[in-house]
């Protein structure tokens, strides 16, 4: 009884037993049928060849559709060597812009941010619209950097005012539409512009006030680079590994057939 309870309680044991039973029931039953028909050794070779061939097909399907055994998903990572830029005038020093930002002398933080936005767009940084799903993904990744990694602000103390995007093109392409062989990507960058909010008092029983941007503080910029991840890498390794094993087992079966044919073709000694 205690053994049954431990199996039902521990998900690791239950999962391990499920895999063992599945392998024994499925692969073992096929091998048992083959062994009783063609022999234990030949049946093992045929079963291993069939299993590895099936794994090759599964690996190809996993790679094609990005399902099954998957690696790390694509995500935004902090750019190096600069991740947080605390003023628009410092964007060229962070290697974001080539030219300096033209900020009028004595400009307010709002005017400096507007000058920074204009400079970014002049150097082919695209402003993502609000309805773009990439904008939400970039802001979510920037929140992780701001609140957890850099501990710059807490939630509700800032607001994302703009998201800029550049790079990420695939190559090589044949024309504008045929990109079947475009396996390579240029670096993909995103910049999330944030502004601090005016601290507001929260009164019990009342709806929270609308966030108000603090116009006395400079806008800050979170620079990120796209990590393409390894989503299809495990499936690729399974495909190549199973393919090599499949070729080896097929070669062994072929060699056995040739040896058997040569032995059967040998003349039978007289009087045998």
Mean pLDDT of all residues in the chain?
90
Residue 9: per-residue pLDDT: 61
Same domain, 94 and 147: yes
Q: What angle do CA 77, 83, 85 make, to 5 degrees?
A: 150
Predicted pLDDT at 16: 83
Strands 170-171 and 220-227: unpaired
Closest CA to 246 of 60, 102, 84: 60
Tell me the per-residue pLDDT of 206-225, one tens digit each, with 9 for 90 and over. Answer: 887 888 999 999 999 999 99
pLDDT, position 139: 96
Same domain flag for 116 and 197: yes
From 163, 158, 157, select the one nearest 139 (Cα to Cα): 163
In whole angstroms, give the CA distance from residue 189 to residue 132.
16
b/e map 120-141, b = 16+ CB within 10 Å: beeeebeebeeeeebbebbbeb
Shared-domain flag, residues 221 and 94: yes
266 within domain boundaries: no
Q: What is the pLDDT of residues 72-127, one digit of tens each?
A: 999 999 999 899 999 999 999 999 999 999 998 889 999 999 999 999 999 999 99
What distances in angstroms separate CA 52 from CA 62, 232, 242, one per listed residue? 15, 19, 5
- Per-residue pLDDT for 4 more than 60? no
In tens, the pLDDT along 26-80 reads: 899 999 999 999 999 999 999 999 999 999 999 999 999 989 999 999 999 999 9
Contact status, residue 232 vs residue 59, Cβ threshold 8 Å: no
271 belongs to a structural domain: no
Q: Does 245 score more than 90 pLDDT?
A: yes
The CA distance from 113 to 88, in Å, is 6
51 and 108 in one domain? Answer: no
DSSP annotation of 40 reads H
Kindly state whether residue 79 falls inside one of the protein's structural domains. yes
Q: pLDDT band at 19, cuts 50/70/90?
A: confident
pTM above 0.85, yes or no: no
Using an 8 Å Cβ cutoff, are 72 and 229 in contact? yes
| Contact assessment for residue 242 and residue 55, using Cβ atoms and an 8 Å cutoff | yes
- pLDDT tops 80 at residue 195: yes
- 75-78/84-85 β-pairing: unpaired
Cα–Cα distance, 227 to 221 (Å, whole number):
19
| d(C-alpha 69, C-alpha 90), whole Å | 44
- Long-range own/partner contacts, residues 72-76 (CB < 8 A, 24 or more apart): 72/227, 72/229, 72/230, 72/231, 73/229, 73/231, 74/226, 74/227, 74/228, 74/229, 74/231, 75/141, 75/226, 75/227, 75/229, 76/137, 76/138, 76/141, 76/142, 76/190, 76/224, 76/225, 76/226, 76/227
* 96 is a domain residue: yes
Do residues 158 and 103 both lie within one domain? yes
Q: How many domains does the chain have?
A: 2
Based on the fold, state whether residues 118 and 223 are members of the same structural domain. Answer: yes
Are 140 and 35 found together in one domain? no
Q: 19 in a domain, yes or no?
A: yes
Q: How far apart are CA 218 and CA 113, in angstroms?
A: 7
Q: Which domain holds residue 220?
A: 75-227
Q: Is residue 253 part of a domain?
A: yes
Tell whether 85 and 181 lie within a shared domain.
yes
Say yes or no: 116 and 195 in one domain: yes
Do both 37 and 111 map to the same domain?
no
Q: State percent of the chain over pLDDT 90.
A: 71
User: Taking the CB of residue 15, how many other CB atoms lie within 10 A of it?
Assistant: 10
Q: Are residues 86 and 151 in the same domain?
A: yes
**In terms of domains, do 132 and 118 share one?**
yes
Contact between 87 and 193 under an 8 Å Cβ cutoff? The reply is no
pLDDT the model gives residue 214: 93
pLDDT of residue 171: 86
Evaluate whether residue 268 is within a structural domain: no
Give the per-residue pLDDT at 202: 77
Let me know if residue 269 belongs to a domain.
Answer: no
């Amino acid at each position: 009884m205690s053994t049954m309870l431990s199996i039902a309680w521990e998900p690791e044991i239950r999962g391990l037993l499920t895999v063992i039973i599945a392998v024994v029931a499925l692969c073992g039953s096929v091998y048992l049928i083959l062994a009783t028909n063609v022999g234990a050794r030949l049946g093992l070779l045929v079963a291993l060849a069939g299993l590895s061939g099936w794994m090759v097909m599964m690996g190809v399907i996993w790679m094609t559709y990005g399902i099954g055994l998957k690696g790390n998903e694509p995500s935004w990572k902090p750019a190096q060597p600069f991740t947080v830029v605390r003023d628009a005038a410092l964007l060229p020093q962070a290697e974001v812009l080539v030219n300096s930002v033209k900020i009028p002398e004595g400009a307010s933080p709002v005017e400096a941010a507007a000058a920074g936005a204009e400079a970014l767009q002049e150097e082919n940084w695209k402003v993502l619209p609000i309805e773009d799903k990439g904008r939400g993904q970039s802001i979510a990744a920037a929140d992780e950097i701001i609140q957890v990694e850099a501990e710059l602000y807490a939630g509700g103390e800032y607001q994302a005012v703009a998201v800029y995007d550049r790079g990420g093109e695939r190559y090589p392409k044949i024309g504008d539409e045929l990109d079947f062989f475009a396996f390579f990507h240029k670096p993909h960058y995103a910049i999330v512009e944030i502004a601090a909010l005016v601290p507001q008092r929260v009164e019990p029983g009342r709806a929270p006030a609308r966030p108000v941007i603090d116009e006395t503080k400079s806008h800050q910029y979170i620079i990120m680079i796209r990590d393409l991840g390894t989503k299809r890498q495990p499936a690729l390794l399974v495909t190549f590994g199973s393919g090599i094993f499949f070729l080896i087992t097929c070669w062994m079966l072929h060699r056995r057939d040739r040896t058997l044919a040569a032995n059967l073709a040998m003349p039978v000694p007289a009087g045998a």
